[in-house]
Amino acid sequence: MASSSRHHPLPLAAALLLLLLMAMAARPGVASLLYDQVKITWGGDHSFFYMEREGVDVLALCLEETNGGSGFASKDTYLYGRFDIDIMLVANNSAGTVATFYLMPDGEVPWAYHDEIDLEFLGNATGEPYTLHTNIFVNGEGGREQQFRLWFDPTTDFHTYSIEWNPKHIIILVDGTPVRAFRNHAARGVPFPTWQRMRLQGTLWNADEWATQGGRIKTDWTQAPFYAYYRNLRVTPCAPSPGVAWCGDEPPESAWFERRLDTAALKEAQAKHMIYDYCVDEKRFKDKELPKECNAD
């Protein structure tokens, strides 16, 4: 990982760097910049792009008590693919703050039927580890939470967070290590996202009513402004097996995508770092049946 400064660029400097960004984007042979791939959807008056080095730009999302946070969305939508992005999270006392990276369809899909693949980074008091909160919504229903303690300090450098979404499974990875897999067991009656084109999004917002130790630790606004940094978005379209037109036509019996999941690495990461799994929450399902997917793997 390349080292990164924790100094927050000034808005004036950011504006000047943005002009440089736009000039570079027009140059032939320059790699695609984040500035070209996403748009700021809210909080544009206090979030900004800046150049880290030639060919690599960074989007700094900002949260203050008076602004409610900020967010971005990809300009394109996708149906299956691999999504990698580098993020450096809010430093020092980040309690109450939540930075996100997720896939969700546009507003034309009714909320009651939408699909969603979520990574939410829950801040904590200084010195405490960050929590990665994951969830998967299908046909408007979520409740499939798994949480992990990050095994490094995600505030001092960029780390890569990834979503692999194909017809066989959804895989969530941290620096290339799989921490979660949600398999397609549609044949057993388990819902799986297969038809909604989704837009990649990221946000930084305040959720101190629940984010840190169940809401017991509130946001310390004397520490504001809070910043989360995003860079180097890579989107790799899903590649079907030979002779198949596109990923959605992959035959159920095909094992083409099974090679994408390192099962041994997944089990090791979960044994070391998982702190919550809805499938083993006895209180939650005391008087209910476990979701079908909990008994399907």
List residues with catalytic annotation. 116, 120
Query: What six digits make up the tokens of 258?
Result: 């099974």
- d(C-alpha 171, C-alpha 261), whole Å: 7
Which residues are 136's β-sheet partners? 117
* DSSP conformational letter for 272: H
- d(C-alpha 254, C-alpha 239), whole Å: 13
Edge-to-edge strands, sheet with 146-149 = 38-42, 70-78, 198-206, 97-104, 116-122, 131-137, 146-149, 274-277
Cβ partners under 8 Å of residue 42, min gap 6: 68, 69, 70, 71
Helix, strand and coil percent figures for the chain, each rounded to 5: 20, 35, 45
DSSP H stretches of helix in 153-285: 263-273
φ, ψ of residue 211 in degrees (nearest 5) = -70, -40
